[in-house]
Amino acid sequence: MAILVLALMGLALYAALQYSKISWQKKVTQSRKAKPILQPIASRPPDRQTGIIQDPTLLPQTAGRQSTDANSIRSAVFLTEQARERELEGDLGGALAMYRDAVDAWPHLTDAWASLGRIYLQARQFSKARDALTRAVEQEPDHIEYLNDLGVVHLMQNRVDDAFELFQQAITLDTTYDRSYYNLALCYLAWQDHRNAHRQLTRYVELNPDHVDALRQVAFLDAALGDYAASIQRLKKAIELRPDSAVLHLDVAAAEALLGHDEEALQSLRRAEELGTALEVQKQYAQPAFNRLRESAAGSEYGEGLKARAVTQTIPPTAPTANPVDPMPLLSIEDSNG
């Protein structure tokens, strides 16, 4: 069963659906050893018009200088628009070069700095990303996406306090900006504050009710806080949205088993087996969450049959998952919910 994200210790880059095998009981009691699934959410490529700081003190005072700067501004805006097209097409290398040329031509082009920072972020060049996004925030301090993206950089560099402050600024400016709630949850997870992480992630799910992976993470936090009934309800909602997920059925089976709901747990195990493989379910059934169930008459009978079915099976290689959630893996600037 996939690791419950109860800590963000290394803030390392893992794909959102990279499932390590550990029981729910171990997830709750060994949170400091858990590897992260959740990753910070950065903004998407902008579709708005380029923003230019209109500070008269930055503009030249002579007619000749005004003409020169007008040409520089036009060139910078053109380069930024071309870079945005490259970025949206997935040519991040070409977009990066054009954004750099744009800020070289006119260093007050705020949107170009922000876009440059976002691409550096995706390239894991965090120092360069921080420098570029800091320029953008200095020029436009109330821009929610710039604040959020700079917070993501700080979070990836384990500057959790700085990241937290930026995410808080973003939701103060806009209480519906979902990405910062999600990222605030990661800050609380880094501090081992599961209750506040649960609160922030719940708010994110309220704004994104069909986001399957976020629902699953809230369910894990429900379990960490001892509320297995709530966990099951969230997982069942996730199953409604993604009914063919063997992993979700295994999650429900574990929670039901921990609550002593043997028949419901066995039903979920059978459904997971139908959707996956007997061999994979057998591996999960050996986890501590199912200890009591395995010792029961019904659980023992199921285990014997499962063992016989698993003998002839092999686990197929895991196919890579592209952008499973919004946006995961980290720094994907595509938007793909649920």
Flag whether 262 is in a domain: no
Contact 19, 41 (CB under 8 A): no
Q: How many domains does the chain have?
A: 1
Full-model pTM: 0.71
Burial of 47 (0-12, 13-18, 19+ CB in 10 A): exposed
Distance of alpha carbon 52 from alpha carbon 81, whole angstroms: 13
pLDDT score, position 38:
59
- Which tokens sit at 164? 């937290």
Flag whether 88 is in a domain: no
Q: Look up residue 109 and give its DSSP letter.
A: B
Flag whether 70 is in a domain: no
Q: List C-alpha distances in Å: 218 to 110, 202, 206, 234.
A: 36, 7, 11, 8
In the chain, where do the E strands start and end?
none
Cis omega (within 30 of 0) on the bond before 317? no
Flag whether 248 is in a domain: no
Strand partners, 109: 52
Distance of alpha carbon 98 from alpha carbon 271, whole angstroms: 51
Distance of alpha carbon 115 from alpha carbon 98, whole angstroms: 11
pLDDT score, position 83:
81
CATH of the domain at 199: 1.25.40.10
pLDDT score, position 318:
52
Flag whether 244 is in a domain: no
Flag whether 115 is in a domain: no
Give the range of the structural domain holding residue 194, as residue numbers without chain letter.
Answer: 141-207
Q: Which residues contact 211 (CB under 8 A, 6 or more apart)?
A: 204, 205, 325, 326, 337, 338
Q: Look up residue 201 and give its DSSP letter.
A: H
Flag whether 189 is in a domain: yes
Distance of alpha carbon 69 from alpha carbon 62, whole angstroms: 10
Flag whether 85 is in a domain: no
pLDDT score, position 17:
25
Per-residue pLDDT of the chain (338 residues; tens, 9 = 90+): 333 332 333 323 222 222 222 233 333 333 333 333 456 777 766 554 443 333 333 334 444 444 567 888 888 888 888 888 888 888 888 888 988 888 898 888 899 999 999 999 999 999 999 999 999 999 999 999 999 999 999 999 999 999 999 999 999 999 999 999 999 999 999 999 999 999 999 999 999 999 999 999 999 999 999 999 999 999 999 999 999 999 999 999 999 999 999 999 999 999 999 999 999 999 999 999 999 999 999 999 999 999 999 988 765 555 443 332 332 222 222 333 33
Distance of alpha carbon 190 from alpha carbon 157, whole angstroms: 12
pLDDT score, position 55:
39
Helix, strand and coil in the chain, % to nearest 5? 65, 0, 35
CA angle 97, 134, 175 (to 5 degrees): 115
